[in-house]
């Protein structure tokens, strides 16, 4: 039975972290809203006994599971994208939760006052928030990932252990988002984190990921997504 992914059409968003895991594993899945429209998300939420607060959510038989980090914790075992050791499995989950924090901070550079306001209505606040994000938060997060890779006893090719995990795929997606939204920033500081960049580049070359990135299933970045390129925020 194919997995069913429910996420908004038209953007990569948080659903992309789930797609990357499913695509890497080469398992069949349905991107249901892309087939039937966004209305299926509300329909399933209304009927589910355990409704998710917001998409993405994953349906696997009778199981309906929300929250990116929880979905990936579940899929990590199912798709062989997580360590077998329970401590390492929790460490991978911890890294994913930190990635989720970074995703929120990246989004809030263009919507610091809230999603109900248009970007044009909060430009002054966005510029202040983006400046802090560029100068303080991005270097702090990337330095943390670089440290993890450096300290991995199995070598710097992966965040955890000596083989690919869903955390590696998620860090790849973070770098993709930062490259899109803040190209000047990443051109200036990206070289300070060579192991992070090397991991990103290695993920690009994985056969299933490479095929996915070249397919129409991989949507391009745009200004409705979590990471948005507004030149005035990337000064």
Closest CA to 197 of 164, 175, 228: 175
- Do 139 and 157 lie in a common domain? yes
- The pLDDT confidence band at residue 70, using thresholds 50, 70 and 90, is very high
Indicate which CATH number applies to the domain containing 45.
Answer: 3.40.30.10
- Nearest 5°: the CA angle 102, 105, 106 is 85
What is the C-alpha separation between 88 and 101, in angstroms, rounded?
A: 20
Residue-wise pLDDT tens digits, 71-92: 999 999 999 999 999 999 999 9
Within this chain, do residues 192 and 103 fall inside the same structural domain, yes or no?
Answer: yes
* Per-residue pLDDT reduced to its tens digit, 151-208: 999 999 999 999 999 999 999 999 999 999 999 999 999 999 999 999 999 999 999 9
Could you tell me if 57 and 120 lie in one domain? no
Between helix 166-181 and helix 86-108 the angle, nearest 10°, is 20
Band (1; pLDDT cuts 50, 70, 90): confident
Structural domain containing residue 45: 3-78
CATH number at residue 217: 1.20.1050.10
Q: Are residues 122 and 196 in the same domain?
A: yes
Same domain, 198 and 147: yes
Q: Are residues 95 and 132 in the same domain?
A: yes
Tally the domains of the chain: 2
Cα–Cα distance for residue pair 174/99, rounded to 1 Å: 8
66 and 141 co-located in one domain: no
The 10 Å Cβ neighbour count of residue 4 is 19
Q: Are residues 127 and 227 in the same domain?
A: yes
Residues 43 and 92 in one domain: no
| pLDDT-based confidence at residue 219 (cuts at 50, 70, 90) | very high
Q: What are the pLDDT digits (tens) for 95-150?
A: 999 999 999 999 999 999 998 999 999 999 999 999 999 999 999 999 999 999 99
Average pLDDT along the chain = 97
């Amino acid at each position: 039975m194919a997995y069913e992914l429910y996420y908004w059409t038209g953007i990569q968003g948080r659903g992309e972290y789930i797609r990357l895991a499913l695509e890497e594993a080469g398992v069949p899945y349905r991107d249901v809203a892309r087939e039937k429209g966004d209305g299926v998300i509300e329909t399933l939420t209304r009927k589910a006994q355990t409704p998710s607060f917001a998409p993405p959510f994953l349906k696997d038989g009778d199981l309906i599971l929300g929250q990116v980090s929880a979905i990936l914790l579940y899929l990590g075992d199912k798709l062989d994208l997580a360590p077998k050791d329970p401590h390492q499995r929790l460490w991978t989950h911890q890294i994913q939760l930190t990635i989720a924090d970074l995703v929120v901070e990246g989004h809030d550079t263009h919507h610091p006052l809230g999603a109900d306001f248009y970007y044009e209505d909060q430009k002054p606040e966005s510029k202040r928030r983006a400046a802090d994000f560029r100068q303080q938060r991005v270097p702090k997060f990337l330095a943390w990932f670089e440290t993890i890779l450096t300290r991995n006893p199995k070598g710097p090719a992966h965040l955890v252990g000596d083989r690919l995990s869903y955390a590696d795929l998620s860090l790849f997606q973070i770098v993709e988002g930062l490259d899109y939204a803040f190209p000047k920033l990443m051109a200036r500081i990206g070289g300070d984190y060579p192991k992070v960049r090397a991991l990103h580049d290695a993920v690009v070359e994985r056969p299933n990921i490479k095929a996915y990135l070249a397919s129409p299933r991989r949507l391009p970045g745009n200004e409705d997504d979590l990471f948005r390129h507004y030149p005035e925020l990337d000064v």
